[in-house]
Amino acid sequence: AGKVEFRDVRFEYKDGTAALQNISFTAKPGETIALVGPTGAGKTTIINLIGRFFEIKSGQILIDNEDIREVDKNSLRSQLGIVLQDAHLFTGTIRENIRYGRLDATDEEVEAAALQANADSFIAKLPHGYDTELTAEGGNVSHGQRQLITIARAILGDPALLILDEATSSVDTLAELQIQEAMKKLLKGRTSFVIAHRLSTIRHANQILFIKDGQIAERGNHEELLARR
């Protein structure tokens, strides 16, 4: 499972803005699709359409050959992992924040997800650092750690499909490597649509869709796109 197909999709916002037109592509099960392109190009709109957060004007979106308009929104979204930039962490331990990915997960499952995402070493910390009970564990989490927590949360949810807006905030080299490793585990085996900011993600993507003015201006994998320069 996990094939996603856009057939000549057109989308307009309520104000008539033609945000997307002539969008056609097929993501095979397990592929990573990197969406790149300037701000306002339509990348966020594309990933929102996959979760049916908006209705398209014309064309078709199919998941495993089924038109998503025919699928119940809740069951559509229950198979979809959504990872947004700098996701919100709430009060409570990192463990609880990760568990939010699947509320019925056992402690062992939460810990396994944390380990996969390189977030195990700080799992007992409090993200906001203002609880005095756990001061021995340390306070705030860094930007990089926040990203690892978000990734752990998504790994725990174990979705077949992923829509992901990679964080833009820069982190140190060690954190960068840990995030790349965690991302690799998250993306593996899942059909993923990533608004990509990391070069490593773009390099490893099966397809890169370069979005410009609401259309696919160029496509291919990293090598193909470089060869055309």
Q: Which residues bind ligand ADP (CB under 6 A)?
A: 13, 15, 17, 19, 32, 37, 39-45, 177, 180-181, 183-184, 187, 200-201, 204
> How far apart are CB 8 and ligand ADP at their closest, in Å?
18
Q: What does R_g of the chain's alpha carbons equal in angstroms?
A: 18
Per DSSP, what are the bridge partners of residue 191?
161
How far apart CA 156 and CA 42 sit, in angstroms, is 29
Classify residue 140 by its DSSP letter: P
Closer CB to ligand ADP, residue 200 or residue 221?
200
Closer CB to ligand ADP, residue 49 or residue 76?
49
> How far apart are CB 43 and ligand ADP at their closest, in Å?
3
> How far apart are CB 62 and ligand ADP at their closest, in Å?
21
Closer CB to ligand ADP, residue 8 or residue 66?
8
Closer CB to ligand ADP, residue 78 or residue 168?
168
Closer CB to ligand ADP, residue 128 or residue 188?
188
> How far apart are CB 203 and ligand ADP at their closest, in Å?
7
As given in the structure block, the two tokens for residue 113 are: 């997800």
Inter-residue contact 199 to 168 (CB < 8 Å): no
> Which helix or strand (DSSP H or E) is residue 194 part of?
strand 191-195
> Which helix or strand (DSSP H or E) is residue 192 part of?
strand 191-195
> How far apart are CB 229 and ligand ADP at their closest, in Å?
19
Task: Tell me if residue 74 falls in helix, strand or coil.
Answer: helix
